Structure 1
Amino acid sequence: MSKSYPRISNIFLALPCIVLEAMGSPASIGPTNLANVVSIDGSVHEGGGQLLRVALVFSSILNKPVHINNIRLHRKSPGLQAEHIASVELARNMCKADVRHMVKDSRELFFAPRTNLTHDEYDADTKGHGSVTLLMQVGLPLAMFSSGITQFSLKGSTNTFNAPSLDFYTNAWDPLTFKFFGTNMEIRDIRRGFFPKGRGHVYLEVYPVQYLRPIDLTEFEEIVTTWGRAVCTPDIKIDTVDIMGDIVEEYLLTHHREAYEKIDILREQLRPYEAHGNGSAIYLFAETTSRAILSAGLTVQKYRGFNETAVQVAQEFSNLLKTKVCVDDYMQDQLIVLMALAKGKSRIKTGNITLHTKTAIHVAETMSRAKFNIVDNKDGTHIIECDGIGFENKLIDRPYV
């Protein structure tokens, strides 16, 4: 397909059901393997759902049982919530994992893969306003190392406040990982779901890889193009997206003329069958000659009007371009898993190291042999380096294109 662009409770060792039947693959978990269960404190660093998702990915791909405790310990609603359970269920279905404590509000989880990752058609639903893209953070890496082409039908919010938007994945993450790591997938936006109502629907088709190439993205070079999207649901006046687009252009004209001269902002009011909920959002993107793709964006929240939202996004976007980083805050932590699994040394230039990134690195180094190093530059930017483990997909005998 071408593109344009802490410790396990003794109860676990006593459970006879842990002694699982071998499924014809080295991934089956037997009594000996249980001595190698990886134990992770879920309250470290960011201490939220991201730690759970990253641990599920490494456990499923590397066939390593994991026990996580103190899950979301310091959150307003501690423990597993519906959107987290949906991610666990998705990973469980893909590797037929044995799972313990997968109930609402549980602060621990035991997850032990029983088979290699199997390609199939998978459905996952957050059953509320949980983010579709957080399901993607689990499903996509697993599908890359599965036995064939994998399809996903995912339901939940596509545009929310505390997770990357679907626009980030289609405009930035997908093309960047395709160019550098060699991933290959189709992301189809069937229906947008705006927080808090959710009910968005996304279809994905993911081709497996034999291995991931390392990424070297430390030079900003020159801006090639900038683009954006101001979007609203049918019950929001079209004037809203026009005003947000105008505000962004006026800000860039004053603060970053080069970006202004190359910007093309799509202003769109979705039709009733294209969206559910009541909301609006604006997203901006830039691509450089070094093939970096930078992004900034927000979904409008009730306490912050669309005018203020547009100004904030424009400011963040302009600052990204001025600092000449190659990876924005959202992209930063999303690349850690791929860098850890890649064959070779990866390097990316970014701004401040986020808590999400520190969390992902902690889990990656705990569950794999990957080693990370942070280089502090004098200008306040940072280089994240990783010696990847060179994981190879033994389930396919040819590249998928």
Structure 2
Amino acid sequence: MTTIHTPDPILIDGSAGEGGGQMLRSALTMAMLTGRPFAMEKIRAGRRRSGLLRQHLTCVRAATAICNAEVEGATLGSQSLRFTPGDLQGGDFRFEVGSAGSAMLVLQTVLLPLALGGQPATLSISGGTHNPAAPPFEFIARTYLKVLREAGLTIKAELRRPGFMPAGGGEVFVQFSSTHDRPGVVQDPHTYEAIAPSPAFNLRARGALLDASLEALIAHIPTSIAEREIATFLSAAPPLPDPTLGWSSRVLRHDASPGPGNALIATLNFEHVSEVFFIPGQKGVSAEAVAERLADELRTYLGHDAPVGEHLTDQLLVVLAALGRGRFRCGPLSSHARTQLELLPRFTGREFEVSARGDGTFDLGLESE
């Protein structure tokens, strides 16, 4: 009889660094990809509502289903979790957050393992799709998936119904194709080999600006709110890098959404990268304030020449860790990014190269072994 050795779990202090749900999501992603178990304590200990909330539990349950994991501590409010992954598998998966919690954060948790697992799969997630403090669907579809397509992955995403807080009820559908030329991942829970290198990923320039678009999403609220947001943004937005280009704008009504909601989204589509900027409308916040906040985010990004913005940086570090090599240039490092730089090497055994540039931007990378 053969005895299978399971290594000791990686011990993670969930209150360290940014101390939020991203640590849990990144740990789940890397555990699925590398086969390394982990034990996390003090999950979200510094947050007003500490421990696992519904959207975090949905992340855990989704990861468990996708890799046949063994899990301890997956209960509402728990500050401790032990996760031992099994083999990645394809199939048709459906998960419900059960509240207005972000469906997009659940998607980010399982997207890379499903894409790199080498088996066809479909994924349906219901919950919030345009939440504060979470990426909207458009960021995933236009920004994140564009990068993954450049890395050789075939993924299609569809917004079937938007969900705004507090009602939620949105739905996204994602299809993963099985192709022979995609980057591979070695995920062996018995030997725990490193992830196999893929063709190098390199994103250090934006390229030419191709177009700029502005969208005001509304559901069950007056169109005049969206019109005020658009007018204010167009007067407050910083100049575009190409003065010959202007903003295209439109109002999108989504009255199929279960509840009222609003979001203002700006997209800069460059030759090598697309960046999406997003501010959700909230009760008590004027349309003008929403638009001015969005203009400020755009101004920050256009204040440097790095192609990768703050939120994409957090996700591309996981992509680099998963693909095994590559490099990209980003703006100033947030607390989330610095936490990723500490956490991810614990699963791969490889430290990132971090090079500060004189203008406040950074080059981040991994070289093939």
Which amino acid letter does the alignment assign opposite residue 108 of structure 1? Answer: S
1:319 to 300, 317, 331: 300
Instruction: Report deviation, 1:343.
Output: 4.1
Whole-Å separation in 1 of the counterparts to 2:116 and 2:103: 21
Q: CA deviation at 1:260?
A: 8.0
Q: CA RMSD in A?
A: 2.0
1:259 is displaced (CA, Å) by 6.2
> Which SS does the other structure have where 2:279 is aligned?
strand
Q: Secondary structure at the match of 1:261?
A: coil
CA change 1:388–1:84 in 2 (3 A) is: farther
Q: 1:70 Cα deviation (Å)?
A: 1.0
The aligned residue for residue 46 of structure 1 is 18
Give the 5 Å matches for 1:301-320: 301-320=282-301
- Using the TM superposition, give the Cα deviation of residue 98 of structure 1 relative to its aligned residue in structure 2, in angstroms: 0.8
Q: 1:388 to 1:285 in 2, by over 3 A?
A: farther
What is the Cα deviation at residue 288 of structure 1? 2.3
**Residue 159 of structure 2 corresponds to residue 175 of structure 1:** no
Q: CA contact under 8 A between 1:340 and 1:388: conserved in structure 2?
A: no
Which structure 2 residue ranges, 5 or more long, are not aligned? 185-197
- What amino acid sits opposite 1:277 in the alignment? G
Q: Report if aligned partners of 2:126, 2:170 keep a CA contact under 8 Å in 1.
A: yes
Superposed counterparts of 1:61-76, under 5 Å = 61-76=33-48
Partners in 2 of 1:63 and 1:257 — Cα distance?
Answer: 44
Q: Is the 8 A contact 1:339 1:388 kept in 2?
A: no
- In the alignment, the residues of structure 1 paired with residue 8 and residue 211 of structure 2 have an alpha-carbon distance, to the nearest angstrom, of 49
- The Cα shift of 1:207 comes to 2.4
Unmatched 5+ stretches in structure 1 = 1-20, 23-29, 390-401
Q: Which residue of 2 aligns with 1:281?
A: 263
Q: How does 1:76-155 map to 2 (within 5 A)?
A: 76-114=48-86, 116-155=87-126
SS of the residue corresponding to residue 264 of structure 1 reads strand
Evaluate the alpha carbon distance shift between residue 192 and residue 260 of structure 1 in structure 2; reply closer, same or farther with a 3 A threshold.
farther
Report the TM-score, using the length of structure 2 for normalisation. 0.90
Give the AA of the match of 2:308: V
Matched position secondary structure for 1:45 = coil
User: 1:388: Cα distance to partner?
Assistant: 5.9
Partner of residue 215 from structure 1, selected from 177, 181, 201: 201
* Deviation per residue, 1:158-206 (Å, 9 max, x gap): 0110100111111211123212x22211111111100121111111111
User: Which residue is 1:399 aligned to?
Assistant: none
Q: Which one of 373, 397, 400 corresponds to residue 353 of structure 2?
A: 373
Does the 8 A contact of 1:172 with 1:285 survive in 2? no
Alignment partner, residue 18 of structure 1:
none
Alignment of 1:249-260 (within 5 A): 249-252=234-237, 255-256=239-240, 258=242
Contact preservation (8 Å) 2:94, 2:124: yes
The alpha-carbon deviation at position 321 of structure 1 amounts to 2.1
Q: 1:232 to 1:52 in 2, by over 3 A?
A: same
Cα distance in 2 for partners of 1:375, 1:210 equals 26
Deviation at 1:372, TM superposition (A): 0.7
Of 266, 269, 291, 2:253 maps to 269
How far the C-alpha of 1:53 sits from its partner, in A, is 0.7
Q: What TM-score do the two structures reach when normalised by structure 1?
A: 0.83
Alignment of 1:195-214 (within 5 A): 195-208=165-178, 209-211=182-184, 212-214=198-200
Deviant stretches of 4+, over 6 Å:
none
- Determine the C-alpha separation between the residues in 2 that align with 1:260 and 1:251: 18
- 1:393 is matched with none
CA contact (8 A) 1:226 1:259 kept: no
Any idea what SS the aligned residue of 2:245 has?
Answer: helix
Distance of 2:304 and 2:230 partners within structure 1? 23
The answer (yes or no) to whether the contact 1:229–1:265 under 8 Å persists in 2 is: yes
Render the CA deviation track for 1:192-232: whole Å, top value 9, x for unaligned: 10012111111111125333443211123432221221110
Three-state SS of the structure 2 residue aligned to 1:371 is coil
CA distance in 2, matches of 1:316, 1:257: 15
Bigger mean CA offset, 103-112 vs 335-344 = 335-344
Specify the code of the residue in structure 2 equivalent to 1:124: F
Measure how far apart 1:266 and its partner are.
2.4
Q: Which residue of 2 aligns with 1:5?
A: none
Partner Cα separation in structure 1 for residue 62 and residue 331 of structure 2: 32
Match of 2:364 in 1: 384
User: How far did 1:322 drift?
Assistant: 3.4
Q: CA deviation at 1:139?
A: 1.6
Q: 2:134 aligns with which of 136, 157, 163?
A: 163
Instruction: Indicate whether 1:240 and 2:221 are aligned.
Output: no
Q: In the TM superposition, what is the alpha-carbon distance from 1:89 to its structure 2 partner?
A: 0.5
Partner AA of 1:54 in structure 2: S
Per-residue CA deviations over 1:248-295 (Å, capped at 9, x if unaligned) read: 22223x64473683321222122x32x122111111111223x12222
In 2, the alpha carbon distance for the partners of 1:230 and 1:260 equals 23
Match of 1:230 in 2: 216
